[in-house]
Structure 1
Amino acid sequence: MKRTNVISAAILMATSAMASAALADELNVVCSAEQDWCDLMVAAFEAENPDTDVLMVRKSTGETLAQVRAEAGNPKIDVWWGGTGDPHLIAAEEGLTQPSGVSTDELLGWARNMSDISEARTVGIYAGALGIAYNSEILDEKGIAPPACWADLADPRFAGEIQVANPNSSGTAYTELATFVQLFGEDEAFTRLAAVGANVNSYTKSGSAPSKAAARGETGVSIGFMHDMVKLAASGFPLEIVAPCEGTGYEVGAVSIIEGARNFEGAQAWVEFALRADVQSRAPEVQSFQVPSNSNAEVAPESPDLASIKLIDYDFATYGSSETRARLLARWDEEVGDPNPQE
């Protein structure tokens, strides 16, 4: 009996060790950037870490934040890479992410600022400005004068011509919402958003979807990040890009390790990898033209020149807080809303 118990204990220990080893070789990543960039990152990381199997799924930032909240205490995600920084900051504020312990010495100030605000629970990996895109062929054909300012989008000439994402699911659209509030004051911002909403034909789940629709000729005008628009224009679509005359907000894309991550060492290796200059310099290979956060990374000539755009002093601490986001989204649902929410 005693010998049987010893054998059983040994088998149990061996099984546990094998399970731990298998877990260490598996890294679960949620990517909130574009799919082709997600795929490039996975392939490049696995090439340098052949013993690690990266299991990656692509989700918008709003969807990911909801999942991280739902899985608090028993996370299925190790690391969250990409997407607008506000939801990453909210996750940090709620204790859903943890410090990576990775050096930020080579990063630009706006990227280090994300780390400072979050007490090192998230860090910036790229930046991109919010803008307007329009399909020149559609507007020419319909005799519609192109937009130059946010105010133009409320004009009746754009009735049924605008597509934008829903801020409940899209970090891009939440950045638009927060930008309007900072530009115009909260009450006027919602009046303007409702006026623009009267011309919206569809609210999408993904922030990049509207510009893809505009590029394909499915809508005349889109709101989104300029780097996504540049990618489409560089592919030959008749897309023109506008930096709104009143000024505009911007995102700092981020990377975070989930609190309680099953493979912390793998997640930490991913963060170190994602912050390297040579890795960030590869983004243009898949036509991702965000401005990289590493000061030594190469900036693609197609990337929007942030210095030439009238950027607001975006308040990441305020608009990256849970309370502010919840309040603004509730007001958006009440005063603007999506008449046909997507499942």
Structure 2
Amino acid sequence: MKLVTPLGVGTAIWLSASLADASAQDLNVLCGVDEAWCQSMEAAFEEKTGFEVSTKRKSTGEILDQIRAESEDPRTDVWWGGTGDTHLQAVAEDLLEPYRSYNEDDVLPWAQNFYLMSGGMSAGVYAGALGFSYNSEILSEHGVSAPSCWKDLTDPQYRGLIRMANPNSSGTAYTTLATLVQLLGEDEAFNYLTALSRNISEFTTSGAAPVKAAARGETGIGISFIHDAVTQKATGVPLVIVAPCEGTGYEIGAVSIVRGARNMEAARQFVDFSLSPAGQATGAASGQNQIPSNAKAALPPAAPDISLIRMVDYDFATFGSPDQRRRLLERFNGEVLQNAEPVTMN
């Protein structure tokens, strides 16, 4: 039998405390943007601060579900990226921590409004308009005309040629759902989505997946944010990007600190960096084309000019409400998803 000496006990306690302090320096981030940007941001923040960062990429709805599940024992410090209305749902559920970055003074008015709307618990990092893109070669092969409006996408000629994300997991798709409700009225929007579902080959988990599939020629049309389509088009694929003629919605991508975060100081520094020109430049550096919120940040050269796009007056407060989200998703699941019969592209 081995005896544990007082010295041994002391050493064990010291070692345990040292390991705990070391792990406290790790920052856990759930990331809702493209994987390339997640990694670029992680590397840039680590280089600037010396903190160790563990980043995991998930779709926006999945992030919200995880933060809810961890609310009694948070394992995540920062939620970075993803549609702002979903961050606002987390605000309403008391899942986020208030913080005002010193860089908040430099952000554009739409981001300032978002910060105020969140009660100081979430900050706007970037903006982007919703639309769809089609692969001109695929549409030509199938002998179908090019769409220019939301209403065009329900035409039977596109049967099996469209992909859209699932709004239960994807912030992009939830923005699509909320946009259509604001454009058409709720009942007409669900009639439209029911008709659209007859042409959809797959409801994807990720919001960017449909346009990536269109870029690869796996589908003809992908509904997504326009900046994601611009990123794909820059690789030389035959994508045509469409801002729908009826008008469209937009997102404000956000960053938030999780209530009860274990690494609060590192989390605050991450928010500061994400709102700084240097932090926002990591988007363009990783091939992304969102519009940065900091007025001093450089606009990515290929970023779409949203001033030329007909936009709805997107109601973030209403569609950021947990009750509204829950009700719309339940209706989508019951009326659209449950009755959808996805058909593959021939």
Bin of the TM-score, shorter chain as denominator length: over 0.9
Q: Quote the residue 1:209 is aligned against.
A: 209
Conservation of the 8 A alpha-carbon contact between 2:162 and 2:219: yes
Superposition deviation, residue 113 in structure 1: 1.6
What secondary structure does 1:29 align onto?
Answer: strand
Superposition deviation, residue 20 in structure 1: 4.0
Q: Which moved more, 1:297-306 or 1:201-210?
A: 297-306
Paired residue total: 337
Q: Quote the residue 1:121 is aligned against.
A: 121
Q: Quote the residue 2:319 is aligned against.
A: 319
Q: Quote the residue 1:141 is aligned against.
A: 141
Conservation of the 8 A alpha-carbon contact between 1:289 and 1:304: yes
What secondary structure does 1:100 align onto?
Answer: coil
Conservation of the 8 A alpha-carbon contact between 1:28 and 1:77: yes
1:85 aligns to 2:66 (yes or no): no
What secondary structure does 2:337 align onto?
Answer: coil
Superposition deviation, residue 96 in structure 1: 0.5
What secondary structure does 2:100 align onto?
Answer: coil
Superposition deviation, residue 101 in structure 1: 3.0
1:55 aligns to 2:54 (yes or no): yes
What secondary structure does 1:146 align onto?
Answer: coil
Superposition deviation, residue 278 in structure 1: 2.3
Q: Quote the residue 2:21 is aligned against.
A: 21
Q: Which moved more, 1:280-289 or 1:175-184?
A: 280-289
Distance 1:75 1:245, change over 3 A: same
Give the counterpart letter for 1:232 in structure 2. Q
Q: Deviations over 1:37-78 (max 9, x none)?
A: 00000111111122x210111100100100000011201100
Superposition deviation, residue 110 in structure 1: 1.2
Superposition deviation, residue 220 in structure 1: 0.5
Q: Quote the residue 1:99 is aligned against.
A: 98
Give the counterpart letter for 1:209 in structure 2. A
Conservation of the 8 A alpha-carbon contact between 2:68 and 2:95: yes
- Matches for 1:299-314 after TM superposition, within 5 Å: 299-314=299-314
What is the TM-score when the length of structure 2 is the normalising length? 0.94
Q: Quote the residue 2:298 is aligned against.
A: 298
Write the distance in 2 (CA, Å) between the matches of 1:101 and 1:295: 17
What secondary structure does 1:336 align onto?
Answer: helix
What secondary structure does 1:191 align onto?
Answer: helix
Superposition deviation, residue 165 in structure 1: 0.2
- Matches for 1:1-343 after TM superposition, within 5 Å: 14-15=14-15, 17-50=17-50, 52-103=51-102, 104-337=104-337, 339=340
Q: Deviations over 1:229-274 (max 9, x none)?
A: 0001011011000000000000000001000000010110100000
Conservation of the 8 A alpha-carbon contact between 2:275 and 2:294: yes
Superposition deviation, residue 142 in structure 1: 1.6
What secondary structure does 1:267 align onto?
Answer: helix
Superposition deviation, residue 6 in structure 1: 7.9
> What is the root-mean-square deviation of aligned Cα atoms in Å?
1.7
Q: Deviations over 1:115-157 (max 9, x none)?
A: 1111111110000000010000011122211110000001111
What secondary structure does 1:179 align onto?
Answer: helix
Give the counterpart letter for 2:72 in structure 1. G
Gaps of 5+ in 2: none
What is the TM-score when the length of structure 1 is the normalising length? 0.94
Write the distance in 2 (CA, Å) between the matches of 1:282 and 1:27: 18
Conservation of the 8 A alpha-carbon contact between 2:171 and 2:207: yes
Write the distance in 1 (CA, Å) between the matches of 2:289 and 2:167: 23
What secondary structure does 2:279 align onto?
Answer: helix
What secondary structure does 1:206 align onto?
Answer: coil
Superposition deviation, residue 114 in structure 1: 1.7
Write the distance in 2 (CA, Å) between the matches of 1:254 and 1:283: 14
Superposition deviation, residue 10 in structure 1: 5.2
Give the counterpart letter for 1:36 in structure 2. A
Write the distance in 2 (CA, Å) between the matches of 1:23 and 1:330: 40
